[in-house]
Amino acid sequence: MNKYPILCLTALILLTANVLFAQNAKLDIGVGVGVLPTFLKDRGKTLTPPVSVSADLFLNKNVSLGLIVGASDTEARATYGPEGNVLRWKNSYSWMGVRFLAHTDRVDHWDIYGGFTLGYGISRLAMLEGKWDDLTAHKRLKPVSGDLALTALVGARRQIQGRWWAFGELGLGTSLLTASVSWRL
């Protein structure tokens, strides 16, 4: 997987954070690890856990607008036919999106929120065992495929100490369930 787009996006997020910090805007920068991968139904072996980076800008105390990017690598296997032929492939998945979140008023250091993400996910498959034609016929998979998706999410953040927060999110993206930490500017 090409790491340069993620590095460039991270640099852009940090530059934006620096500008917003100078303007006293509230910005959450988070890093998360997926607990339940998006491709859980394939019963694949996780090669690289789903990781994500997010940045949410608070437009006011109850509304934020953000960006999220993430990636994961999974190896999957399937058998088909009376001979038990084996197909094995690697899925390198990337996800990026813009998200709109509505936050409740904070109670006892908790921030509960929900919203929507408009994102684009792309899977790049590599055959490890078997033939492309068989994978296409039996699993309807292509070497490269992408989809635009509007997904919902819910989450909760707990202030740990000072500007540091721990949070979990449930929603479709790089992972179905994500555990994360964030730093609020």
pLDDT tens digit sequence for 136-183: 887 888 889 899 999 999 999 999 998 999 999 998 887 888 999 999
Sequence spans of domains, the chain: 4-184
Q: Looking at residue 2, what is its pLDDT?
A: 59
**Window from 16-25, 80-89, 166-175 with minimum mean pLDDT:** 16-25
Mean pLDDT of 24-35: 86
CB of 115 closer than 8 Å to CB of 159? no
Q: Looking at residue 35, what is its pLDDT?
A: 85
Fold that domain 4-184 belongs to in CATH: Porin (2.40.160)
Cα gap 53→31, rounded to integer Å: 5
Total residues found in the chain within this entry:
185
Pairing relationship of beta strands 110-129 and 45-60 according to DSSP bridges: unpaired
Q: Identify the CA nearest to 167 among candidates 86, 103, 78, 119.
A: 103
